[in-house]
Amino acid sequence: MAQPQVDTSPKVSDEIRKTTCYMCACRCGINVHMKGGKVAYIEGNRDHPINKGVLCAKGSAGIIQHNAPSRLRAPLRRVGPRGSGEFEEISWDEALETAVGWLKPLRDTAPEKLAFFTGRDQSQSFTGWWAQAYGTPNFAAHGGFCSVNMATAGIYTMGGAFWEFGSPDWEHAKLFLLFGVAEDHDSNPIKMGIGRLKERGAKIVGVNPIRSGYNAVADDWIGITPGTDGLLILSLIHCLLKAGKIDLDYLARFTNAPVLLNGDPKSPDFGLFLRDEDGKPQVIDRPSGKLMAWDTPGVRPDLTGHIRRAGVTHTSVMHLIADRYLSDDHAPEAVAERCGLTPDRIHALAAELARVAFDEAITLDRPWTDFRGERHEKMIGRPVAIHAMRGISAHANGFQTARALHVLQILLGAVETPGGMRFKPPYPKPAEAHPRPHAKATPGKPLNGPHLGYPQGPEDLALDADGKPLRIDKSFTWENPMSAHGLMHMVISNAHAGDPYKIDTLFLYMANMAWNSSMNSSGVMEMLTDTDENGDYVIPNIIYSDAYSSEMVAYADLILPDTTYLERHDCISLLDRPISEPDAAADAIRWPVVEPDRDVRGFQSVLLDLGARLNLLGMVDDTGAPKYADYADYIMNHERKPGIGPLAGWRMSDSGLTHGRGAPNAAQIDSYIAGGGFCTMHIPEEAQYYKPWNTAYQDWAVQTGLFDAATPYIFQLYVEPLRRFQRAGEGKGDILPPEHLRAQIAHKLDPLPIWYAPDAGNPDNYPIHALTQRPMAMYHSWGSQNAWLRQLHGHNPMYLPSRLMRDHDLQDGDWARITSPHGDITVPVAEMAALNPDTIWTWNAIGKRKGAWALKPDAPEATRGFLLNHIIHELLPPKGDGLRWSNSDPVTGQAAWFDLRVRIEKTTAPAEAQPTFAKLISPVGPGPDQLTWKTPS
């Protein structure tokens, strides 16, 4: 029989439109293939700096998200009781006038009564600007319940964090140490990097209670007990110090290890830096023995410096580091058991770090000049790269643990050197160069400055004259002074409790607070529907913007339906969270590759419209007319300061188009579209490492518009702002914490990293740790109802280690009751051997509520799926003092999701996973019974 003829060169599509993915926080470049004006196929953009052509499962499934039956179709006004899901469709004019009717009187009388919080927002420099113009202090995005410990520890310590702002040097690292869950931000770059390490034969060590995902391909797996990473890290530091395996030259030149500290416990300045008249921290110049400012040209800071001045002994930070970490308290033998490890395991890891950092050091022949004017002929690298994210961050000791990790990296000389960790522009940027928090509301006026920032001491807290919190989430208070991303997980709880005050309108964007984005989800649903003695809702008005029929929609009074990511303009801005890579600054756009076929509008354009109707500064012109037609107009024409706008590419200069600084360009978005949706500005080769200290980098950053002036700085092993708070905790200074928080502040805001056990229930009653993670195919993706992706992960059993399965006589498919100090859930179980023996876990956010996401009520997500959130409270169990103690890190307010402790009992199978909730009335109805599409050309 003749072989059939196959058309091996079919037409692929009519056209490729290049935009930016929004299926998670990674922001890859995508080629959207169009057929007959419709989206037909999505693949990665090979030219794009983030993904270089590859694309994850989420990205390829974007077509299903774009066409999802759960898409909202028109503005909605609630007609049934809150939480029922009963709505009527209204016009945009009605919707916007309703919102203005609530927001305008508030602004004129008490702007703080608007709480505006955004979830998976990729336009925070814009939404924050809007909130500042409105004048409420109550704005933040979801960082507070995500990874703010990591961000804050990184910024205060080294002027940059992991997240998508720092990257392992995949081309030079020989040992890669990965802590905890880190599969969210930078997901494709990390997968590409792991592939590159494997190709190069580098070693990967995973430290994680669960051996899945990246840990499954790690050469060595360290199945640590949750919450003890800090103990392990400080023990590694102990071993390395004791063996002298630290980079002395790097520490002396580029860190505050040689900076002198007041060492007199009786002095009011005890623990603060010795400073000169200009306020600059002082070091001893080793050759001359003289006291000098840290940045004096030619100074050779002495690591072991000490001096007696005005009767007070001052010693270098290095003295304190030696005193603290050489102590046997940090020896592997003293900590291993608590970590669930053996002392040998810790010794072996420390020795491996020492071997690779110093015996396998690498050298690049790239001359460079440092900020003190010294020229270096070579770049020396310690090829140990480390990465971490939520796994260590989401504990109440996460800030200090992340700090410990950065101190470890710095002691090895493995930050901003070849083979280590590298920053991506606009980082590095020290904490002092960031704004400080602003929270002073004045009726009818903009806020007195940007909401979020990095406090330098008690004077920067957001407290009124009586010490009462100015913000609804109690950010920047003594409960959590360095809460740089706010505490979104406390907003509804505090607003419901009227603590510190009552609010009028809760305005949320893309944040599923009535379900998987809240701690204590069942409690939050009650708070959102609770009424006062008059029968009015305790939280009077709720406005919500989402593209999909999420659980939160049912709890709002007014719905502003957003577009899908293929129907909208966006900018992924250098003012915010750009798509830079270590060798380049880069930003990008989204643009409507198709127009919406429903009565929906991009949220940012709606916000500009609302702003104009409210007459907000910057959103109306001199005549009071709207200044911007829509978000695209804002992206091109808004200037944050002269020459600097949301997009850095294709701006106008005297000599034509330019990247970086320049005047607005009315055709800027067209230029981005022609350029593939992004703009890249390459960093010169001599400027690619040692960025905080490298003159060539600093000059390039000023020229590009990242900074206004060169700002070299040294890494802060010892964080003086922490000491300023700690000092107040000790009762010193003018601004003091309330009595009940002093001991906590004095203990936990230690300027050198410490470890303490999180306070998460009595281990005798709750012996097991319980964790969640998102599958790679869904991480940070908005709604797992995606018909392709839910076939990969439509069930989420509770995974138990073999020991616990045996101890409780459980088999796969049996059911167990999981009880925390806060409540219980009843769920199906399955065995997993590659697991810490005291830890159980499940996939997060697979469980969905009946009626949400256009799923049918018998979908497994709604019958067997469950959330761990129900047994994680936003407050710690009452301590008998009548106070509400937030379940958060006491430094940053990061939600301590992973501190959860539970006990397990086998139980008979219920009809459905418990607890169950009433079915929501769906504003969109369920999806179709079959998908069989092929896009016609």
Q: Is 463 helix (H, G, I), strand (E, B) or coil?
A: strand
* Segment near other proteins (CB under 8 A); pick from 380-388, 648-656, 891-899, 929-937: 929-937
Q: Which is nearer to other proteins, 51 or 149 (CB)?
A: 51
Closest distance between other proteins and the C-beta of residue 14, in Å?
A: 11
Q: Which of 74, 293, 322, 652 binds other proteins (CB under 8 A)?
A: 322
Q: Residue written as tokens 């710690």?
A: 876
290 binds other proteins (CB under 8 A): no
Site for other proteins in 129-188 (CB under 8 A): 187-188
Sign of the dihedral through C-alpha 697, 50, 431, 413: negative
Task: Answer yes or no whether residue 253 interacts with other proteins by CB under 8 A.
Answer: no
| Residue 774 is a binding residue for other proteins (CB under 8 A) | no
386, 169 in Cβ contact below 8 A? Answer: no
CA distance 340 to 515: 33
Residues from 360 through 399 that contact other proteins (CB under 8 A):
none
C-alpha 297/C-alpha 221 separation (Å) is 46
9 vs 32: CA distance, rounded Å: 19
Q: Which of 351, 361, 702, 883 binds other proteins (CB under 8 A)?
A: 351
- Window contacting other proteins (CB under 8 A); options: 264-272, 289-297, 701-709, 858-866: 858-866
Instruction: Examine residue 47 and tell whether it contacts other proteins (CB under 8 A).
Output: no
Count the Cβ atoms, other than its own, within 10 Å of residue 351.
Answer: 15
Q: Which is nearer to other proteins, 3 or 908 (CB)?
A: 3
Using rule CB under 8 A, residue 44 touches other proteins: yes
Q: Are 812 and 795 in contact (CB under 8 A)?
A: no
Of 14, 74, 84, 221, which one interacts with other proteins (CB under 8 A)?
Answer: 221
Is residue 926 a contact point for other proteins (CB under 8 A)? Answer: yes
Q: Does 767 bind other proteins (CB under 8 A)?
A: no
Cis? peptide before 857, omega within 30° of 0? no
**807 — phi, psi (to 5°)?**
-55, -35
Please identify which residue in 114, 384, 415, 855 interacts with other proteins, judged by CB under 8 A: 855
Of 118 and 922, which has the nearer Cβ to other proteins? 922
| Nearest-angstrom CA–CA distance, 410 and 247 | 8
The CB-of-654 to other proteins minimum distance in angstroms stands at: 38
- Site track for other proteins across 178-207, x = CB under 8 A: ---------xx--xx-xxx-xx--------
Quick one: which of 539, 538, 543 has its CA closest to 99?
543
Q: How far is the CB of 19 from other proteins (least distance, A)?
A: 16
Question: To the nearest whole angstrom, how small is the minimum distance from the Cβ of residue 789 to other proteins?
Answer: 7
Q: Six-digit token pair at 654?
A: 């005297």
Residue 61 interacting with other proteins (CB under 8 A): yes
Q: Which of 84, 304, 671, 744 binds other proteins (CB under 8 A)?
A: 304
Stretch that binds other proteins, among 97-105, 115-123, 339-347, 561-569 (CB under 8 A): 339-347
The token pair that represents 129 in the structure block: 């600007």
Residues for the chain: how many in total?
A: 937
Part of the chain binding other proteins (CB under 8 A), chosen from 155-163, 315-323, 542-550, 554-562: 315-323
Total residues interacting with other proteins, rule: CB under 8 A: 111
Q: Is 866 helix (H, G, I), strand (E, B) or coil?
A: coil
702 binds other proteins (CB under 8 A): no
- Give the DSSP H/E element, type plus range, for residue 291: strand 291-293
User: Does residue 3 belong to the site contacting other proteins (CB under 8 A)?
Assistant: yes
Q: What is the side-by-side order of every strand in the sheet holding 220-222?
A: 220-222, 203-207, 175-179, 384-388
Determine if 239 is a binding residue for other proteins (CB under 8 A). Answer: yes
Name residues whose C-beta falls within 8 Å of residue 416's C-beta, 6 or more positions apart in sequence: 422, 423, 428, 689, 690, 691, 692
When asked if residue 60 is in the footprint of other proteins (CB under 8 A), the reply is yes
In the list 49, 69, 418, 721, the residue contacting other proteins (rule: CB under 8 A) is: 69
Indicate the residue among 60 and 521 with the shorter CB distance to other proteins: 60
Q: Which stretches of 355-442 are DSSP H helices?
A: 390-393, 398-411
CB of 813 to other proteins, least distance (A): 16
For other proteins, the binding residue among 91, 94, 216, 910 (CB under 8 A) is 216
Residue 830 in the binding site for other proteins (CB under 8 A): no
Q: Is 789 in the site for other proteins (CB under 8 A)?
A: yes
Question: Which tokens go with 476?
Answer: 């920047």
Give the burial class of 789: count Cβ atoms within 10 A of its Cβ; 0-12 exposed, 13-18 middle, 19 or more buried.
buried
Question: Site residues for other proteins, window 4-33 (CB under 8 A)?
Answer: 4, 6-12, 33
Amino acid at the residue 487: L
Q: Which of 131, 173, 566, 776 binds other proteins (CB under 8 A)?
A: 776
Q: Which amino acid is at 93?
A: D
> Which one of 41-49, 75-83, 505-513, 629-637 is the stretch in contact with other proteins (CB under 8 A)?
41-49
Please list the residues that pair with 663 across neighbouring strands: 652
Residue 526 engages other proteins in binding (rule: CB under 8 A): no
Q: Does 927 bind other proteins (CB under 8 A)?
A: yes
Identify residue 29 by its one-letter amino acid code: G
HSE of 752, CA atoms in CB hemisphere, 13 A = 17
Among residues 187 and 475, whose Cβ is nearest to other proteins?
A: 187
Q: Give the bridge partners for 422, in sequence order.
A: 167
Which 790-829 positions form the footprint of other proteins (CB under 8 A)? 790-792, 794
Stretch that binds other proteins, among 58-66, 452-460, 538-546, 557-565 (CB under 8 A): 58-66
Select from 358, 384, 347 the least CA-distant residue to 239: 347
The span from the CA of 482 to the CA of 476, in Å, is 6
Using CB under 8 A, which of the segments 320-328, 375-383, 485-493, 508-516 binds other proteins?
320-328
**Locate tokens 């199978």: which residue?**
909
Residue 688: Cβ within 10 Å count? 24
